[in-house]
Amino acid sequence: MSDFYGLNLNNLLEKAPIGVVIHRWDTSIKYANPAALSVFGLTLEQIVDKEATDGQWRFLDEAGRPLKFADYPVNKVKRTQAPMTNEILGVADHTRAKVRWFMVNAYNEGELDSENQTIVVTLNDISAFKQLFFFSDIVENTQDIVIVCEANNIKYPTGPKIVYVNKAFESLTGYKKEDVLGETPRILQGDLTDKAAMSRIQSALINHQAITETLLNYDINGRPYWIEMNIIPLKNKYGEVTHFGAIERDVSERKFHLEQLQFRNLELKALKDELEQLVHDRTIDLQIANEKLEKIAFFDPLTNIPNRRFFIEQAHKLIKSCNRRKLAIAFGLLDIDDFKLINDTHGHDVGDLILIELANYIKQFCRDDEAYCRYGGEEFAFAVAIETPEDLDCFTSRLITGIQNIEVSVAGQLLSVTASGGFRFCTTREDIDFEKEMKQADVALYQSKESGKNKVTITE
């Protein structure tokens, strides 16, 4: 091999980690470097002059099926007169039970039909990567939740960052995979999540240790659930911890039963003959009571949409999310025009019906990641992630237009309403003051009312 820009090409091939095989045009082997010799388990003397159809080794396609001789890399290039690029093939010989997997490239070198025409085949070992595909279907379709996070940044508030979740995660939490990649698992935690357990997990991650904990988490709609998680450090082939894997299971029902059994232990001893029915009835009653309490705490009883308390909590979460994703955020207030006149003219029952219809429209209009609520009286509030001021213009225009199309039947006649809004557009920053920005949205709402109603005023 000649020198090229001061490099000894023969020395480069001999030390290269990628296998290189040079075939003559009749497919016999002219040269193979040490990396290629290890693939076929032969010495240079044993492999030189062998043809591609030699029975000492065989190629497999990506599905593990024997490859036809015509599709062997050297034969395929010779037959098609075109290079082969990044095809995944397996190599097996009569001495190995285990298949090695390679990213294979092949091309023609030299003048066509000349004596020095050769075909060069390169083999890049991807066995470790290929092995992952055998487990992907299992992990993706298991009923247990699987989360993988980076290990290089676990500090609050940005880390650890999620790099993978499976379908079970989406089903339980309501978050889509694309919504949580790059986020931290802390988005699932809330005020009642055990701080001591979170501290233990943090310590285990810092020390690259496995840990098992049970935590109270919250889904995308704020519904609480108990999760049992096993967190394990994941190492690369050099023994370095690069990621953490968490295998989690929803144990809400089991935890509830355990707490009830402990609480009622003395009574259940005397009533053991009625245990099954008692636990069943008690479970249903408590589930109904919890649903009622949750609804009272977080939802407006008239319109059945989130109330101010729930909106404030979701708005603060959205602020953090927008900061992480480098998105702007907009806060808004919407007020029904001349609502007192409607109540005075048609009665409060009609006013309530209008509020319900408007709430149903807002529920269908807003996306899952947008916060909204009945803020009080005939006033509704919004917090939405926005990329540009033009996007906010489009959002508010569609909102006002849709409200104009709402019709309520009153004494055989259709009654329609309009609304005025005020929105505050905020660029990404860490110090967004929610209360201050809502006051600015209220000022903008007042400007809409003063300048003719049935419109939205936006301030930046």
Give me the pLDDT at residue 129, please: 66
Q: What is the pLDDT of residues 121-135, one digit of tens each?
A: 999 988 776 655 556
Dig out the tokens for 161 from the structure. 């960052």
Q: What is the pLDDT of residues 147-162, one digit of tens each?
A: 999 988 887 777 789 9
Q: What is the pLDDT of residues 364-381, one digit of tens each?
A: 999 988 999 999 999 999
Residues 285-295: what's their mean pLDDT?
Answer: 71
Please say if the pLDDT value at position 1 is more than 50: no
270 versus 198: the higher-pLDDT residue is 198
Q: What is the mean pLDDT of the chain?
A: 86
Give me the pLDDT at residue 287, please: 81
> Tokens 């909204």 — which residue?
372
Please say if the pLDDT value at position 271 is more than 70: no
308-459 domain in CATH 3.30.70.270?
yes
Please check whether residue 165 is in contact with residue 247, taking contact to mean a CB–CB distance below 8 angstroms.
no
Selection from 216, 217, 256, 249 nearest residue 231 by Cα: 249
Please say if the pLDDT value at position 267 is more than 90: no
Q: What is the pLDDT of residues 407-454, one digit of tens each?
A: 998 888 899 999 999 999 998 777 889 999 999 999 999 999 999 999
Dig out the tokens for 233 from the structure. 């450090």
Q: How far apart are CA 234 and CA 240, in angstroms?
A: 8
pTM flag (> 0.85): no
Give me the pLDDT at residue 295, please: 65
Task: From residue 356, give the alpha-carbon distance in Å to each of 57, 105, 351, 371, 423.
Answer: 74, 65, 9, 18, 22
Please say if the pLDDT value at position 6 is more than 80: no
Residue 58: φ, ψ to 5° = -150, 150
Please check whether residue 338 is in contact with residue 328, taking contact to mean a CB–CB distance below 8 angstroms.
no
Please check whether residue 31 is in contact with residue 48, taking contact to mean a CB–CB distance below 8 angstroms.
yes
Selection from 302, 304, 311 nearest residue 334 by Cα: 311
What are 282-286's contacts with CB under 8 Å, separation 24+?
283/256, 283/257, 286/256, 286/260
Q: How confident is the model at residue 243 (pLDDT cuts 50, 70, 90)?
A: very high
Task: From residue 225, give the alpha-carbon distance in Å to each of 193, 249, 254, 323.
Answer: 10, 10, 11, 27
Q: How far apart are CA 428 and CA 103, in angstroms?
A: 43
Residues 345-353: what's their mean pLDDT?
Answer: 93
Record: fold of 3-130: Beta-Lactamase (3.30.450)
Asked, colleague to colleague, whether 3-130 and 308-459 share their fold, the answer is no
Select the highest-mean-pLDDT range: 36-50, 69-83, 150-164, 327-341. Answer: 327-341
Q: How confident is the model at residue 175 (pLDDT cuts 50, 70, 90)?
A: very high
Identify the architecture of domain 142-250 in CATH.
2-Layer Sandwich (3.30)
What are the structural domain ranges in the chain?
3-130, 142-250, 256-297, 308-459
Residues 169-183: what's their mean pLDDT?
Answer: 92
- Of 81-95, 297-311, 328-342, the range with the lowest mean pLDDT is 81-95
Q: How far apart are CA 131 and CA 101, in angstroms?
A: 9
Pairing of strands 224-235, 162-165: unpaired
